[in-house]
Amino acid sequence: MQLSDRINSDADMTPTSWQERCLAVQSEFGWFLAAIEGLRPAPLVDRAFIRALDECWIQPESLVWPVVRYLTAKWPRALSGVAVAGEPQLFAVVCDPLLLKLLQRTPALTPGLDTLLARVRCGALRRIMEHGDIDALVPTLTALAIRGWHSGYALTLPLEPRHEADHAQEATLVAELGRDLEESKREGRDLVAALAVYAAYAPPEPDHLTAALATGDPAVKVIEQNVTAPRLRQREIARSLEPVTGLDPSSRKVADQYEAHPYPSWIGQPAHSVRLPEPVRLALGPGGPEAVRSVLVAGCGTGEHAAVAARAWPRADILAIDISRTSLAYAIDRLQARTGDRIRFELADLLEIGQLGRRFQVIESMGVLHHLADPEAGLRALTSVLEPGGIIGVGLYSAAARTKLAAVGSRFDKEEMQSDEAVRRFRAWALAELKAPEMLYSPDFYSIGGCRDAFFHVREHCYSLEQVGEMLDRAGLTLLAVQTPPMARERLASVPEPADLAGWAAAERAYNDLFLSMYEVWAQAAQRPE
């Protein structure tokens, strides 16, 4: 069937279902685009990728590797690492509008691009310190500034002998450039270029921007609107948050980590609705997700999860709580204008959620309970505020999937990995030394908060699927579904039924990275006795 036929196939569509249908088709086309191998460079393909990223047809992170495969076909010497410094392809690829769109849409990259962009940024820094002309690179540096702010300025040169001198020099030169900007030592195009280089390394303070804004240059405006202004707003929001529950003393250590390094890093978010596993839809009864009115997102982080929940539960009021002010401030700043009052963000500890005196039809807590001192106490606290018959979705780490990541993390002293600079050094080491590059496929590797969360968490527990099942039993919950992990359909000859825990455990024994991000399970509370 043609796409237009698919869109037109329902004669009674309301404007909302029209919009939903269009978004669903866009999303399908986005996945199709991401899956095609061997795409030949053509303006139409460039345009399709740019629109898919710009309009977030699918999660931008899912387009990173397909876009890089395509760019490699377009600029083979530059992206296969054979081009030597100064070669025109290197310049062409870092100025390619498709690459710039990718940088503005997601902090995720690939190891090769990470290194290439770090080299280009370092080259631009050295040149601007000599007052050289880098005008043509300003759009790339501006895109790097946006990505930098969202990723915690994770970009780094690999720890290789040829970069030793650059590593030593970079911080000194950036500090010197910052002083130049504060003391208005630059003007005109040189000033704009200097600001763009600085912003690719660190967030400009208002003092760095004053003179540059007076030039009226659009690049300066972009940096001001996408980096400096949101940063100041978020600082204010974080200060203004008042806790609505007590903070359990055991939560302090984890709160401190996310205060310093909020998680996850995200820029673009698709607008299409989220499909829930069939047993969850059935358990909701005839009204389905539309009938749900109250949802709790426990441990919402920087808000991406709350935005996904808002799409999964389209008519619900959503309470999204977290113990990290900086994470909440990022979430509020990014989402409040878009979602209005439908998502309410509060500073609260899920262990103390009973203090609110409210109950919820649905609770989601993804990637949170395994960071508590006592995850079962967390599950009990959440279950105690679930309506009878209510649905809960929890995400917990798989021990099998995390073995390799944990082995990498254990080579470093966790106590020392608490500063941005230490995490950058780890990234530089990993880019040069890590012999298992698939570990660098995760979007988490490309941000400071993501690396800290994945490799150097102050506290985490890991489980087998069997243990997850036992935990749900002890909380009086009935398993409805194990969310099918992304690779399952490609890899497994037969995909287990959603609630077949033993079947999923067997699948995981065959592919121990099947649940690499985590197990996501859905369960239901007992109904009220008649």
Ligand X SMILES: C[S@@+](CC[C@H](N)C(=O)[O-])C[C@H]1O[C@@H](n2cnc3c(N)ncnc32)[C@H](O)[C@@H]1O
Which stretches of the chain bind ligand X, using CB under 6 A? 251, 254, 258, 263-264, 298-301, 304-305, 321-324, 327, 349-351, 366-368, 371-372, 453
Q: Which is nearer to ligand X, 125 or 306 (CB)?
A: 306
Answer for the pair 203, 229: CB distance below 8 angstroms, yes or no: no
Q: In the bound complex, what is the minimum distance in angstroms from residue 396's beta carbon to ligand X?
A: 11
Q: Which is nearer to ligand X, 151 or 327 (CB)?
A: 327
Q: In the bound complex, what is the minimum distance in angstroms from residue 348's beta carbon to ligand X?
A: 7
Q: Which is nearer to ligand X, 217 or 322 (CB)?
A: 322
Q: Which is nearer to ligand X, 104 or 245 (CB)?
A: 245
Residue at 349: amino acid letter: D
Q: In the bound complex, what is the minimum distance in angstroms from residue 257's beta carbon to ligand X?
A: 8
Does 230 sit behind a cis peptide bond, omega within 30 degrees of 0 on the bond before it? no
* Spatial separation of the C-alpha atoms in residues 92 and 479, rounded to whole Å: 53
Q: Which is nearer to ligand X, 217 or 304 (CB)?
A: 304
3-class state of residue 297 by DSSP: strand
Q: In the bound complex, what is the minimum distance in angstroms from residue 465's beta carbon to ligand X?
A: 19
Q: Which is nearer to ligand X, 221 or 311 (CB)?
A: 311
Q: Which is nearer to ligand X, 202 or 372 (CB)?
A: 372
* Spatial separation of the C-alpha atoms in residues 265 and 302, rounded to whole Å: 7
Between CA 205 and CA 269, with CA 300 as vertex, the angle to 5 degrees is: 70
* Spatial separation of the C-alpha atoms in residues 201 and 99, rounded to whole Å: 19
Q: In the bound complex, what is the minimum distance in angstroms from residue 341's beta carbon to ligand X?
A: 21
* Spatial separation of the C-alpha atoms in residues 168 and 182, rounded to whole Å: 23
DSSP label at 484? P
Q: In the bound complex, what is the minimum distance in angstroms from residue 334's beta carbon to ligand X?
A: 13
Q: In the bound complex, what is the minimum distance in angstroms from residue 333's beta carbon to ligand X?
A: 15
Q: E strands of 301-450, at which residues?
A: 317-322, 343-347, 360-366, 386-396
Q: In the bound complex, what is the minimum distance in angstroms from residue 372's beta carbon to ligand X?
A: 6
- Tokens 């503005």 -> residue: 104
Answer for the pair 359, 386: CB distance below 8 angstroms, yes or no: yes
Q: Which is nearer to ligand X, 202 or 323 (CB)?
A: 323
Which residues are CB-neighbours of 502 under 8 A, at least 6 positions away? none
Quick one: which of 393, 398, 385 has its CA closest to 358?
Answer: 385
What are the CA-CA distances from residue 407 to residues 372, 402, 411, 434 (Å)? 21, 8, 7, 12
* Spatial separation of the C-alpha atoms in residues 473 and 127, rounded to whole Å: 63
Answer for the pair 349, 247: CB distance below 8 angstroms, yes or no: yes
Q: Which residue(s) pair with 99 in the sheet?
A: none
Structure tokens at 466: 């069997």
Q: Which is nearer to ligand X, 309 or 492 (CB)?
A: 309
Q: Which is nearer to ligand X, 204 or 375 (CB)?
A: 375
Q: In the bound complex, what is the minimum distance in angstroms from residue 239's beta carbon to ligand X?
A: 17
* Spatial separation of the C-alpha atoms in residues 516 and 401, rounded to whole Å: 5
Quick one: which of 98, 105, 99, 34 has its CA closest to 65?
Answer: 34
Q: In the bound complex, what is the minimum distance in angstroms from residue 496's beta carbon to ligand X?
A: 24
